Amino acid sequence: MDPYRLPRHVLPTHYDLRLEPDLQTCSFSGQETVTLTVCEATREILLNAIELTILSASLVNDAGQKLVPVVQLEEATERCLLMFSTPVAPGTWKLQLAFQGTLNSKLRGFYRSQYKDPSGAVRLLAATQFEATDARRAFPCWDEPDFKAVFAPTLAFAPELTAVSNTAIVGETIQDGKKIVRFADTIPMSTYLVAFIVGELEATEPTFIGRTPLRVWCVPGKRRLARFGQEIGAFSLGLYEQYYGRAYPGDKLDLLAIPDFAAGAMENFGAITFRETALLVDDQAATHAEQERVADVVAHENAHMWFGDLVTMAWWNGLWLNEAFATFMEMLAVDAWKPEWQRWTTFGVSRAAALAVDGLHSTRPIEYPVAAPHDADAMFDVLTYEKGASVLRMLEQYLGPEVFRAGVRAYLQRHAFGNTETGDLWRALGDAAKQPIPEILDGWVFRSGYPLLSVRLEGDRLVLTQQRFAYLPFDADDEERKQRWRVPVQVRLTANGKTSTQRLLLEETETRLDRPAGFESVLVNEQGHGFYRVHYATDLLERLLRVPDDLAPIERFNLVNDCWAATLAGLMPLQAYLEVTAHFRAERDKNVWTVLTSSLVALNRIIRTEDRPGLEALVRDRAGAAGAELGWLARPGESELTRQLRGDLLRTLGTLGNDQDIQAKAAELYAAHLHGSAAVDANVLAAVIAILAHTGGAERYDEFWRRFRSATTPQEEQRYLYALAGFREAELLENTLAKTLSGDVRTQDAPFVVQKLLMSVYGRDLAWRFLKDHWDEMNRTFPTTGIRRMCDGVVGLATPEYERDVRNFFEQRRIDLGGKTLQQYLEQLHIAVRLRQREERVLHEYLVSFAQA
Ligand SMILES: [Zn+2]
């Protein structure tokens, strides 16, 4: 039997839960009465608990029987065993437990968060983060998603504080100098969705969506930053009620910004918690990307109220049922809210991130076995979220949006308050579509990887073939390489100046289309919804590159992205890729620039130091014209996407391109901004800060540090903090590294600073040594999710010498980041090193010619 799973002969139905957090002593005490259905006579009851002290336990029933068990905590499996001297008879029992614990600093379970009030004094609040398996750190419970039960919490705390939980308050009294707040019963739900937040909190006035009041909560002094989040919160909730055909299932909805928060946000039912940058924003002073982040996260969490909270996966292997849907719905809602943001086009960047990981041998299927808690935590990755959402989008486009929605409604209707497997979703969608879904989708969800579609001309035919894409070659006998998919393909043919679309389901290895008379070009994956890559024969690629403007932005994005992937995989020579980039000097879509720039950043990590001026010249050659045309000033009436692109290009030119004119102008503009004599667009200001870090010395460093400490919005704070990783002088970067463990930087952010330094060609050597020297301290201090993200930075250590050292370190320390996370990082590192070894000479010659030009 799996030591991490609980037996099913005892089922909780109701938790009466009372918790008393004490912010002075950073501890809490608790009592609970759990109503249980005992299905068969037993001498043992098993539930989950960890880092709790159980003070007393007893079991009673309506007949007045009382049994007192021996309690044994099993630390390794995070379980609590209750052993009874006589068998507990089948029927209904009430388990009464008293316990106590610590408000920890690790941002999980019931934890403490620190902030400064408007006067500068340090304050604490208590908050919870239970997903995946940390409710057991706050109260003993059946901590698996299919043990759904009703929760009736009561909180007792110092009277000057406020408390929020999943439901509305039904009673409030003062007893023995404490405020006692009782909350309404929840819907039947999983333990990981329970939440308590206690502190000096402020709320906005509610917005009503039907009868549901929606508020934003924050620590004192930040309410002015709540409007934007509240707007998208209200908009998306209303949209989902219509889309799902089902009212919001709770009695209120609170969105809470928590100063210390390990993840981005958490969909606790009715009490969603966020890190501050994901909820609070001054939309006049924020970049487009910063606003989009808030809109995305709020819309995502709201979508979970149905997908995840009302209907929940039965076990963590099915996490995608929650996360892929919430990600898909987030796009849908933000796209409806701000159509001018073109959210589905920008989604291409997320899809590309999933394609990158899913092209590794160490990838995993979207659905993947999970046993231990740290493997459940590792499921929160791009495969669950972005690949899952991409596959749903591909299916939605294939079935049609109306049919897809009808299937989603049926699924929610059938399984409300229950738990599901992927098969349940297939059935609901299949009923709506009147066709079997598993045949199309099983290959995308239960198998890893995706196809590469190769396209070539052969006489009067166009030939399409599929094979599994991988960055590194398969062994000849590897069965995975033979995998085939049912691929919904949309092809656009241009002939005699006219275009036509063909839709097909590619099932075999190869398919042939007629080459039309007057053939000009063929584009595979029209509109870009497919989760696959396309590799064109050279002549077909040239035909597309001749008129890039004939392609939609997402199609251009995919074209460049697939060429870059082919280069990494050794299917396209690097020189050919560099020539592809030369066709995009006139590009005006920010997503296309994102992929162009990130490929140049990757090259910067594998070049010889003496080639850097050549690379800088190459960057200026590719991005210079677009940057010059957009200039520094936002123009009235231009789109937010253009404003973001302006910032992105300036940043690229001023840092990676080392453009001295841009650097000088950035310094000038920044000074004018500080004196209040220039209104600088937020997107430009963010770029200017990055550029000034790149060129800055000790004085600038100290200034940015002060500005980080005195920032008035979460976004401003983050900009200056990350800028501290963007300097080039070793001494300054050592300073930044030291600060990550000094208590001056929040533990929610510090791992990301280290990650950025590992990715920086100026910081990676220092950061890698620092990581090795301080590994144990980092593990004691940083949240586990932060450690996992931080280690992603080793991909930046792209030399054979570093690679050996990285492998040795992780092996010798026996480090496991959960699931396949570490193998994925190491494989990505190896791919970069191989590119270096394969192309170093060609790249050197190419860049020498640029440096001389
Ligand atoms: Zn989510």
Q: Which residues are bridge partners to 784 per DSSP? A: none
pLDDT band at 119 (very low <50, low <70, confident <90, very high): confident
Beta-sheet pairing, 271-275 with 253-258: parallel
At residue 59, the 3 state secondary structure works out as strand
Distance from the CA of 377 to the center of ligand 1, in angstroms? 13
CA distances from 13 to 95, 333, 765 (A): 11, 34, 54
Distance from the CA of 327 to the center of ligand 1, in angstroms? 7
Q: Is the pLDDT of residue 491 over 80?
A: yes
Distance from the CA of 166 to the center of ligand 1, in angstroms? 17
Q: Mean pLDDT score of the chain, rounded to an integer?
A: 96
226 cis-preceded (ω within 30 degrees of 0) = no
Average pLDDT of the segment spanning 452-473: 96
| Other C-beta atoms lying within 10 Å of the C-beta of residue 79 | 21
pLDDT band at 480 (very low <50, low <70, confident <90, very high): confident
What's the pLDDT at 679? 86
CA angle (225 as vertex; 193, 710 as ends), nearest 5: 105
- Tell me which residue of 464, 327, 801, 337 sits closest to 606, measured CA to CA: 801
The full DSSP string for 727-775 is ---HHHHHHHHHHHTTTSS-TTTHHHHHHHHHHSTTTHHHHHHHHHHHH
Q: Tokens at residue 182, please?
A: 């009782």
Distance from the CA of 352 to the center of ligand 1, in angstroms? 19
Beta-sheet pairing, 451-458 with 533-536: parallel
At residue 613, the 3 state secondary structure works out as helix
Q: State the DSSP H helix or E strand holding residue 591, giving kind and residue range, or none if neither.
A: helix 590-604
Distance from the CA of 320 to the center of ligand 1, in angstroms? 9
What's the pLDDT at 735? 98
Distance from the CA of 332 to the center of ligand 1, in angstroms? 15
Beta-sheet pairing, 150-157 with 10-22: parallel
What's the pLDDT at 440? 85
pLDDT band at 602 (very low <50, low <70, confident <90, very high): very high
pLDDT band at 218 (very low <50, low <70, confident <90, very high): very high
| Residue 53 exposure: Cα atoms within 13 Å on the Cβ side | 7
pLDDT band at 637 (very low <50, low <70, confident <90, very high): very high
Distance from the CA of 301 to the center of ligand 1, in angstroms? 6
Identify residue 27 by its one-letter amino acid code. S
Q: Tokens at residue 78, please?
A: 């995070």
Distance from the CA of 265 to the center of ligand 1, in angstroms? 8
Q: pLDDT tens digits for 403-429? A: 999 999 999 999 999 999 999 999 999
Inter-axis angle of helices 821-852 and 784-791, to 10 degrees?
A: 40
Distance from the CA of 323 to the center of ligand 1, in angstroms? 5
pLDDT band at 853 (very low <50, low <70, confident <90, very high): confident
- Tell me which residue of 74, 761, 139, 485 sits closest to 82, measured CA to CA: 74
pLDDT band at 375 (very low <50, low <70, confident <90, very high): confident
Q: pLDDT tens digits for 688-745? A: 999 999 999 999 999 999 999 999 999 999 999 999 999 999 999 999 999 999 999 9
| Other C-beta atoms lying within 10 Å of the C-beta of residue 276 | 24
CB of 615 within 8 A of CB of 847? Answer: yes
- Tell me which residue of 140, 46, 63, 53 sits closest to 96, measured CA to CA: 140
Active-site annotation, residues: 301
Residue ranges of E strands in 1-65: 10-22, 27-38, 42-48, 52-60
CB of 666 within 8 A of CB of 646? Answer: no
Distance from the CA of 232 to the center of ligand 1, in angstroms? 16
At residue 49, the 3 state secondary structure works out as coil
What's the pLDDT at 230? 98
d(CA 216, CA 254): 6
What's the pLDDT at 579? 96
Q: Tokens at residue 361, please?
A: 């041998």
d(CA 455, CA 446): 27
* pTM metric for this prediction: 0.97
Q: State the DSSP H helix or E strand holding residue 830, giving kind and residue range, or none if neither.
A: helix 821-852
What's the pLDDT at 303? 98
Helix segments in 510-589, DSSP class H? 538-546, 553-568, 574-581
Distance from the CA of 379 to the center of ligand 1, in angstroms? 11
pLDDT band at 549 (very low <50, low <70, confident <90, very high): confident
What's the pLDDT at 548? 87
Locus of tokens 């889309």:
243
CB of 20 within 8 A of CB of 155? Answer: yes
| Residue 128 exposure: Cα atoms within 13 Å on the Cβ side | 31
- Tell me which residue of 577, 656, 606, 611 sits closest to 831, measured CA to CA: 606
Q: Tokens at residue 541, please?
A: 């690629």
Distance from the CA of 399 to the center of ligand 1, in angstroms? 24
Q: Is the pLDDT of residue 852 over 90?
A: no
Distance from the CA of 711 to the center of ligand 1, in angstroms? 29
Q: Is the pLDDT of residue 438 over 90?
A: no
Q: Is the pLDDT of residue 436 over 90?
A: no
Q: Which residues are bridge partners to 56 per DSSP? A: 98
Q: Which residues contact 66 (CB under 8 A, 6 or more apart)?
A: 58, 59, 60
Distance from the CA of 273 to the center of ligand 1, in angstroms? 12
Identify residue 539 by its one-letter amino acid code. D
Distance from the CA of 106 to the center of ligand 1, in angstroms? 21
Average pLDDT of the segment spanning 559-572: 98
| Residue 35 exposure: Cα atoms within 13 Å on the Cβ side | 11
Q: pLDDT tens digits for 321-349? A: 999 999 999 999 999 999 999 999 999 99
Distance from the CA of 504 to the center of ligand 1, in angstroms? 33
CB of 298 within 8 A of CB of 238? Answer: no
Q: Is the pLDDT of residue 1 over 80?
A: no
Q: Is the pLDDT of residue 477 over 90?
A: no
Distance from the CA of 233 to the center of ligand 1, in angstroms? 15
CB of 491 within 8 A of CB of 502? Answer: yes
- Tell me which residue of 294, 292, 269 sits closest to 280, measured CA to CA: 294
Q: Is the pLDDT of residue 376 over 90?
A: no
Identify residue 761 by its one-letter amino acid code. V
Q: Tokens at residue 665, please?
A: 């102008």
What's the pLDDT at 434? 93
- Checking phi first, is residue 518 left (phi over 0); if not, alpha (psi -120 to 50) or beta? left
Handedness of CA 385, 386, 391, 396 (dihedral sign): positive
Q: pLDDT tens digits for 275-331? A: 999 999 999 999 999 999 999 999 999 999 999 999 999 999 999 999 999 999 999
* Distance of alpha carbon 237 from the chain centroid: 21
The full DSSP string for 231-250 is HHHHHHHHHHHHHHTS--SS
| Residue 472 exposure: Cα atoms within 13 Å on the Cβ side | 18
Q: Tokens at residue 796, please?
A: 């930046």
Average pLDDT of the segment spanning 201-226: 97
CB of 784 within 8 A of CB of 263? Answer: no
Distance from the CA of 324 to the center of ligand 1, in angstroms? 8
Distance from the CA of 66 to the center of ligand 1, in angstroms? 42
Question: What distance separates the 2 farthest-apart alpha carbons in the chain?
Answer: 93
- Tell me which residue of 258, 249, 264 sits closest to 186, measured CA to CA: 249
Burial code (b: 16+ CB inside 10 Å, e: under 16) for 762-797 equals bbbbbbbebbeebeeebeebbbbbbbbbbbbbbbbb
The full DSSP string for 792-806 is GGGGG--SHHHHHHH
Distance from the CA of 300 to the center of ligand 1, in angstroms? 6
Inter-axis angle of helices 821-852 and 553-568, to 10 degrees?
A: 100
What's the pLDDT at 479? 86
Average pLDDT of the segment spanning 226-253: 98
How do the residues of the chain divide into helix, strand and coil, expressed in percent and rounded to 5? 45, 25, 30
279-282-285-286 Cα dihedral, nearest 10 degrees? 20
CB of 694 within 8 A of CB of 726? Answer: yes
Distance from the CA of 258 to the center of ligand 1, in angstroms? 17
Q: Tokens at residue 738, please?
A: 């030291």
- Tell me which residue of 144, 124, 121 sits closest to 134, measured CA to CA: 144
Three-class SS of 253-276: EEEEEECCCCCCEECCCCEEEEEH
Q: Is the pLDDT of residue 118 over 90?
A: no
CB of 535 within 8 A of CB of 453? Answer: yes
Average pLDDT of the segment spanning 582-592: 96
d(CA 765, CA 759): 10
d(CA 605, CA 793): 12
